[in-house]
Structure 1
Amino acid sequence: MNSRKFFILFIACAAMPLIAAQLSLSMGWFSQGGNNKGQFLQHEIQLLPDVTHSAPDNSVQDKFANARVHWHLVYVQAATCDQECEQALFTLQQLYAGMGRKQLKIKTLVMATQKPAQLKQFPAIAWQPEQGTAAELQNQIVIVNQRGLVLLRYPVDGNPEHMCDLARDIRTDLLRLINYDRSGA
């Protein structure tokens, strides 16, 4: 085989996967958003303060505790804590308990204007006062990274069967995020 035939054969073999990829994208055979279960936000929302740039007056123990927490599961409560709110808090508690040793990397929060009375029943969930940026996320569970940005959101309804599916979806996405997180490695 002369060098000219080899070069043409080499170029054809290298171009074949690129042509196949372009064809699959243009024909719609590949679904681009099929991996995540939650909804991505169209714009950035800074829900929590950035723990990677904490103030210098914090103690060493606080910095160590914040360094381990990379992900936050936050329920943004509506005006009052009704049955939907209780279902969401129960779901957050169950998700946290089901994470096993990966609990060290997550923190569960409820954001509300006032501390819900039902929060006594859920020891793993902390309360944080709601800021004005959370208005469009009411009645939703969101996954927040350590920089305080909301990544995925999950609308909450009061149906217990839907909440089981929602918890499964959140767990799947959160485990994927924890496993691919390289900021602490």
Structure 2
Amino acid sequence: MSNTKKKNNKSMVLIFVAVFLLPVILAKLALDNGWFNQAATNKGALIQPPLDMSSLQTSEQEPKWKLVYVLPAECDKRCENALYSILQVWSALGKHSDRAEAVVISHLASQPEKLAELKENSKARIIETSEQNIKKIFKNSDTEGVFIADTLNNVILKYPLQADTEQAVLDSRDILSDLRKVLKLSRIG
């Protein structure tokens, strides 16, 4: 009778250990071997490696998350939608809007009328720089889009421009969603 009891105790201990160790071992194997698709929740295109725009930062500026748009030579409907989007997303942040800012980067070829209008009526910060500096920052890649930059001035996400106003509003929701996530996770800015 005691042999049966010892066997039952041993089997209970083995079952107990297996219940707790087996999930840990399987999780480790799944992570190491890539057995599942690691989901990304960001809606924008992740820029790898991040682009460094610290050359546009002045020393007196406090670190903030940035909604960035590079003003083109001709401001068409896509440009208008992008400008509207970054300002609306910034406003929609509500109590967190002090942790972020809308930034428009202009250069000598940027449309002067639109630039003057932005300086007069916009809550966006205007940064004037050279086309060479923009090319250096964006490494000669496409500057058409709305970008999110972190508090260290690393451009990390890109969103496409839309000519259709309704689609631009939908894309603005994606930008807002991603910006809220990074603000929630960030302790800086």
Per the normalisation by structure 2, the TM-score is 0.75
Cα distance change on mapping 1:177 and 1:50 into 2, 3 Å? farther
Q: Which runs of 5+ in 2 are unaligned?
A: none
Counterpart check, 1:162 vs 2:167 = yes
The structural deviation recorded for 1:14 is 2.4
Inter-partner Cα distance in structure 1 for 2:149 and 2:34: 33
Does the aligned pair in 2 maintain the 1:76–1:137 contact within 8 Å?
no
Percent of pairs with identical residues: 22
**2:76 aligned residue:** 82
**Structure 1, unaligned stretches of length 5 or more?**
56-61
Establish whether residue 125 from structure 1 lines up as the match of residue 124 from structure 2.
yes
Instruction: Name the CA shift for 1:41/1:147 in 2 (closer, same or farther; >3 Å).
Output: same
User: Aligned partners of 1:168, 1:32: CA distance in 2, in Å?
Assistant: 20
Q: Single out whichever of 174-183 and 3-12 deviates more from structure 2.
A: 3-12
> Is the CA contact (8 Å cut-off) linking 1:37 and 1:173 kept in structure 2?
yes
Equivalent residue, structure 1, for 2:46: 40
Distance 1:15 1:31 in 2: 23
Paired residue for 1:58? none
What one-letter code is carried by the residue in structure 2 that aligns with 1:129? Answer: E
**CA–CA separation in structure 2 for the residues paired with 1:49 and 1:9:** 61
Q: SS where residue 82 of structure 2 aligns? A: helix
Contact 2:56/2:127, CA 8 A, preserved across alignment: no
Residue 23 of structure 1, CA deviation: 5.5
Aligned to 2:188: 183
Of 148, 155, 162, which residue of structure 2 is paired with 1:150?
155
Shift of 1:50: 8.5
Say which SS state the counterpart of residue 88 (structure 1) adopts.
helix
Helix, strand or coil for the counterpart of 2:103?
strand
Specify the SS of the correspondent of 1:147. Answer: coil
Residue 100 of structure 2 is matched in structure 1 by 106
Task: Determine if the alignment matches structure 1 residue 17 to structure 2 residue 23.
Answer: yes
Q: CA offset at residue 48 of structure 1?
A: 3.3
> Contact 2:70–2:105 at 8 Å: present in 1 too?
yes
Root mean square deviation of aligned Cα = 2.8
| Secondary structure in structure 2 of the residue aligned to 1:43 | strand
Tell me the amino acid that sits aligned with residue 86 of structure 1.
E
Relative to structure 1, the CA distance from residue 164 to residue 178 in structure 2 (aligned partners, 3 Å threshold; closer, same or farther) is same
Q: How many Å apart are 1:104 and its aligned residue?
A: 0.5
Is contact 1:47–1:150 with CA below 8 Å preserved after alignment? yes
Match of 1:59 in 2: none
Alignment length (residue pairs): 170
Which residue in 2 is equivalent to 1:140? 145
